[in-house]
Amino acid sequence: MKQNSRRKLILSTTVLSILATGILGTRQLYVSRPDYGLPYYARFTQAEDRWTALGGTWEVAEGYMRNDSNDRGAKLLTGLPNWKDYVLEGDFQLLGEGSAGVLARVTEAEVGENSFKGYYVGIRTIDNSLDLGAFDFAYHEAAKVTLPEPVRLFRWYHVKLKVEGCRITASAWAEGMREVKTAPLNDPDCFRSGSIGLRSNGTGGVWRNVSVTSIKLAEDAENRPAQNLPSSDGAARQRVVLQTGINRSGTKPAGEGGLFMLTTQTVLSLQFLPPFGAPMASVRGSVVLTRPAIYVQDSTGGVEVQSDSATPLKIGDEVEVTGEVNLDKSSPVIRKARFRILRETVPISPAVATANQIADGNLDGRFVQVEGYLRTISAGTDDTITLELDAGTQSFHAILPPGRSGSHLRGVALESRLRLRGISVVDPRFKNATDPFVILVRSAEDFEVVAGPPWWRPSTLILASLVALGLIFAFNYLYLLAKHWRLRAVADERERLAHEIHDTLAQSFAGIGFQLQAIRNSVPGGAGALEDQVDLAMLMARSSHQEARRHIASLRPESLGHIGLLPALRECAERMVKNGSVTVETYGEDSGRSVPPRVKDTLYRIGQEAIANSIRHAQPGTIRIRLQRTRASICLSVEDDGEGFIADSNRAGFGLLGMRKRAESISGTLTVKSTPRTGTLVEVKATVGSRFLYWPWRRAGLFPRDI
């Protein structure tokens, strides 16, 4: 039986392992297919979380993906590394002088201008061209086509990049402009597969309608009539440029020359202007924030700039700002501002500072980097996300823009150490009365987790306690299971010995008795001495046969099941004294409390042996069986009024030693009290497990029932 159980267990484990391996292998083969996940259509919504940014300031706005930074080689990646042959399409706008486009078969990407492998197609303003090339941690231009019209900012361009085997082709068109195509790139050592991405270099951009389709679906779509790109967005952006007075060529707008005739001054000097009226001032600096407010920073400090009309600026633009200076607030603010873009540069680096240094107010309006421990996360009415942090004794808040920030914070645990980059402000519009400052974070990429929460936080301690309790119960169950297997093995061995005794000694004694009876019948008359010897031999054979049968009965495993211990002992005693003059009395009753089956069976065997010894050796008139049960223990006693013996004698019989061994097997104690001619008391007391711990798990089937 034990071997069959083990075989079934091994067979079941093997089958389950093969089945699990097959399922995982099949899933891996399915996921690793070159067309898994295709077609893919980018939906630039607030819940967008499948894109990874490497440089730039990427955010979702009005259904578009924007990069409002002049970073060189800013990338935004998505897709699977096993995508092989596909067509990548998308619309984009250039926000300044530089280049922008899309990437295909991207691998080994890192932060940096050329730090990746893959193919690129984009539009460049410096030479009005459509470029196709490959990046291998350096740019290799493969084909270039001059566009039929000059590249215009804020105009929607549609590009298509087709990668099929080692043949790469690209094309582009815009509303009112014919489609242009580059010469195909045939690269025998081409990149075979990779993800997709968006890229801008030296300027910002806006993307929409990004899609990846298989070659077949793309060829089917080519047969359909093309749809014109809408021009309303581009026209609206052009109108905004005219209204805000921005001229990216660096010249002053017509009719506004007087505004830019003021002598430029530093941001720090604005604090020393006359505190009355609205003095005019002009400053030069780099744009460090565009939303929710515009901040310009120079080498002396930063200042908020308010304009009456929309201002399409990018982070990194070097501008000249002229307007009225408001000194009513805690920090100067330039109102009714006019901008003149001087040039597009790489965004400035943050000033690394501690929370205490920023709280002094000397870094107000500047782009800073600070670290702190995350305490709470809350959402604002305008979909912004507010983080409460502290660094030592200093607490502060950080405000993240709506969009991709929520998805980036999903895996961030409270008490984590965060590194934030943003604009430090003391404006009451953004901070609470108790906060010395607040950090306006520009994008989701401007915060990162430096270290996770400490392991000793309450949630971790509770989880560790639960895991420890689970392991304790698991180990306890495994221990009981191993003990159950050992006891099962002992029971199987005892049953085997019982069968061996039955088939050898018992049968031999029966055969000897039969032969002696035959000899007794053959003895001639008058041989009295011989008859007496044969009768004695027959009596000894019958006694030995009965003793063998008794040992066989004691060796065979017998579980009482649902029968009470006291009724079972009474039935056993009455069966032994049947047709005799011995009276059996029982006291106590089973209280209904659960007793482990092994303890119950062991007490039954000890009681059975004590009753048998009393009947065989003591010649009693009365046998009293008493059972007492408490919450933590159980006590069984067998008492007779027979001849008794010297209990402290060193000549203990085999039966008494056997009872002691049985009592020790259940961690019980056996006490024997007896003197000659006063009777004998055999008492065994055993400790039972807590009902609270044992019984629910027994009912749940977690512990074997025959333990």
pLDDT at 515 over 50: yes
Instruction: Report the CATH number at residue 86.
Output: 2.60.120.560
* Secondary structure letter of residue 192 according to DSSP: -
Cβ-contact 296, 287 below 8 angstroms: yes
Phi and psi, residue 456, nearest 5°: -90, 10
Q: Are 447 and 460 found together in one domain? A: no
Quick check: 168 pLDDT over 90?
yes
Q: Please compute the mean of the pLDDT values over residues 577-597 and round it to a whole number.
A: 78
Q: Which residues pair with residue 123 across a beta bridge?
A: 100, 130
pLDDT tens across 404-421, in order? Answer: 888 888 888 888 999 999
608 and 672: one domain? yes
Domain count within the chain: 5
Does 34 fall in a domain? no
Residue 383, pLDDT above cutoff 90? no
Quick check: 363 and 354 in contact, CB under 8 A?
no
Q: What is the CATH number of the domain that holds 535?
A: 1.10.287
| Claim to verify: residue 670 and residue 653 sit in the same structural domain | yes
Residues 297 and 361 in one domain: no
- Reported as a single tens digit per residue, the pLDDT across 252-274 is 443 344 444 578 899 988 888 88
Indicate if the pLDDT at residue 288 is higher than 90: yes
pLDDT of residue 605: 86
Listed residues 531, 557, 583: the one ending a domain: 557
Residue 16 domain-assigned?
no
* Whether residue 545 is found in the same domain as residue 679: no
Same domain membership, residue 186 and residue 138? yes
* pLDDT, mean over the chain: 82
Higher pLDDT, 274 or 478: 478
Q: What's the per-residue H, E or C state across 286-352?
A: EEEECCCCEEEECCCCEEEECCCCCCCCCECEEEEEEEEEECCCCCCEEEEEEEEEEEECCCCCCEE
* Shared domain check, 61 and 51: yes
- Residue 209's nearest CA partner among 131, 130, 156, 152 is 156
444 secondary structure, DSSP code: G
Q: What is the pLDDT of residue 236?
A: 40
Name the pairing type of β-strands 367-379 and 385-391: antiparallel
609: domain CATH number is 3.30.565.10
Total residues found in the chain within this entry = 707
Q: Residue 189's CB: how many other CB atoms inside 10 A?
A: 7
Domain of 514, in residue numbers: 455-557
Q: Please tell me which residue, 93 or 404, carries the higher pLDDT value.
A: 93
Q: For residues 166-193, give the mean pLDDT.
A: 92
- At 240 the pLDDT is 35
CA distance 269 to 260: 18
Report for 102-116, 208-222, 508-522: range of highest mean pLDDT: 102-116
Domain contains 523? yes
Is 679 found in the same domain as 532? Answer: no
Cross-strand partners of 92? 157, 207
Residue 11 in any domain: the answer is: no
Which sign, positive or negative, has the C-alpha torsion 238, 240, 246, 251?
Answer: positive
User: And the tokens for 707?
Assistant: 């333990």
31 — pLDDT class (breaks 50, 70, 90): low
Give, for 544, the enclosing helix (H) or strand (E). Answer: helix 528-555
Residue 26 lies in a domain: no
Residues 80 and 103 in one domain: yes
Range 583-598 average pLDDT: 76
Nearest to 439 by CA among 354, 511, 509, 508: 354
Question: Does residue 703 share a domain with residue 563?
Answer: yes
Is residue 122 a part of any domain in this protein? yes
Indicate the range of 36-45, 95-104, 152-161, 247-256 predicted with least confidence: 247-256
Nearest residue to 418 via CA among 351, 385, 372, 352: 372
Amino acid at 216: K
φ and ψ at residue 303, rounded to 5 degrees = -145, 145
The pair of structure tokens assigned to 56 is 């730039």
d(CA 466, CA 110): 41
CB 467 within 8 A of CB 473: no
Alpha helix segments (H runs only) across 364-450: 405-408
The domain spanning residue 406 has which CATH number? 2.40.50.140
DSSP-derived letter for residue 268 is G
Is 10 inside any structural domain? no
Strand runs labelled E in 327-466: 333-344, 351-352, 367-379, 385-391, 394-400, 417-425, 438-441, 447-451
Gap between the Cα atoms of 634 and 669, Å rounded:
11
Average pLDDT (63-71) is 89
- The residues that bridge with 93 in the sheet, in sequence order, are 206
Shared-domain flag, residues 227 and 265 = no
The answer to whether residue 267 is domain-embedded is yes
Name which of 114-123, 177-186, 248-257, 339-348 the model is least confident about. Answer: 248-257
* Whole-angstrom distance, CA of residue 292 vs CA of residue 288: 12
Q: Among residues 512, 534, 557, which one ends one of the domains?
A: 557
Give residue 306's pLDDT. Answer: 92
Residue after which a domain boundary falls, among 541, 557, 573: 557
Is 519 in the same domain as 566?
no
